Structure 1
């Protein structure tokens, strides 16, 4: 049964909320896979190459799951995918070009933002237990990525605080844009 406080006159229908969640999560996982592709292009042969490939493989699994949900639920993907394709790769390659620690700082900033985003979705999508379970599983892996980044010196990256704030702001903007377009 739905929470009576949740749906008020003028609220968007639950189906619209679910479609929006799937659309933005698909876009986010697409962007994450592209970030890791950019990082691997620069650092793939380095000491953290296997670690980056591990995280990319998990993001690829997340993306494939949301590809399936997009098709099964007949959700329109964001029109921003071509932009996220380029922007994600550039962000990954640019931070990797600054060094291993900057690449890990990027990972931490992105995953902290996604952790908060996924938590919010789980609180909102109470009528979608299977979707929430998927989101929770993926959220745990995103937190794992954040922890890996912290363990590998993210906070020692030059300009960590500024870089982190900039990336988190960009992620939040990408979420808002992908929800709507």
Structure 2
């Protein structure tokens, strides 16, 4: 595109416009995918491979690991630093996964449903915020959002909402996710 063509279309960004913070987006998304892999690791450590839910969890964990690899590569390509809270997410994710699996396989699925509900909201807001500014990043986030929704739907179909205390458990996990997102963007 020539300078004249750009001038004719006008700038995509003007002073005072809210610009998406791409580094923050990639940092928080990488942290979230890392946390998800740790949650599933904790769940599988408790459930083992003999529970019916284990196969579903292992499949979702493999997808999350692919998402994590993608964001790891983006961080390197774009020079984005990881969150300083990664050691916290390592322990907290594993602990959350193990705790919910100790409650029951249904509670492990309730954890997945709650986390993926928040991630859907989060990814949707990112795609909206990106607009046409970063089409490749937006497409990647949209694809991952679809897969996260599959995880949520799988968890619900596996009895997540039938878990004793589901509304309270879901609300607590969702609040924790929102806090983790807010902290990982900045720290």
Q: TM-score by structure 2 length?
A: 0.90
> Which of 130, 133, 141 is equivalent to 2:139?
133
**1:23 pairs with 2:27:** yes
Equivalent residue, structure 1, for 2:46:
42
Equivalent residue, structure 2, for 1:109:
114
Local SS of the residue matching 1:76: coil
User: Structure 1 stretch 44-53 or stretch 89-98: which is displaced more?
Assistant: 44-53
The aligned length equals 176
Q: Distance in 2 between matches of 1:28 and 1:41?
A: 20
Instruction: State the Cα RMSD in Å.
Output: 1.4
Q: Distance in 1 between matches of 2:69 and 2:102?
A: 28
> Which of 152, 158, 174 is equivalent to 2:180?
174
Deviation, structure 1 residue 9: 2.8
The higher radius of gyration belongs to: 2
Tell me, which stretches of 5 or more residues in structure 1 are unaligned? none
CA deviations on 1:34-78 (whole Å, 9 max, x unpaired) are 000001101132111111110000000000000000100000110
Tell me, which stretches of 5 or more residues in structure 2 are unaligned? 1-9
Q: Distance in 1 between matches of 2:11 and 2:27?
A: 23
Q: Distance in 2 between matches of 1:78 and 1:169?
A: 19
Local SS of the residue matching 1:112: helix
Q: Distance in 2 between matches of 1:29 and 1:8?
A: 33
Moved over 4 A (4+): 1-4
Flag the 1:54–1:30 CA change in 2: closer, same or farther, 3 A.
Answer: same
Local SS of the residue matching 2:177: helix
Q: Distance in 2 between matches of 1:151 and 1:39?
A: 18
> Which of 122, 129, 139 is equivalent to 1:124?
129
> Which of 63, 76, 86 is equivalent to 1:58?
63
**1:156 pairs with 2:162:** yes
Q: Distance in 1 between matches of 2:128 and 2:143?
A: 14
Q: TM-score by structure 1 length?
A: 0.93
Q: Do 1:44 and 1:50's aligned partners in 2 also have CA atoms closer than 8 Å?
A: no
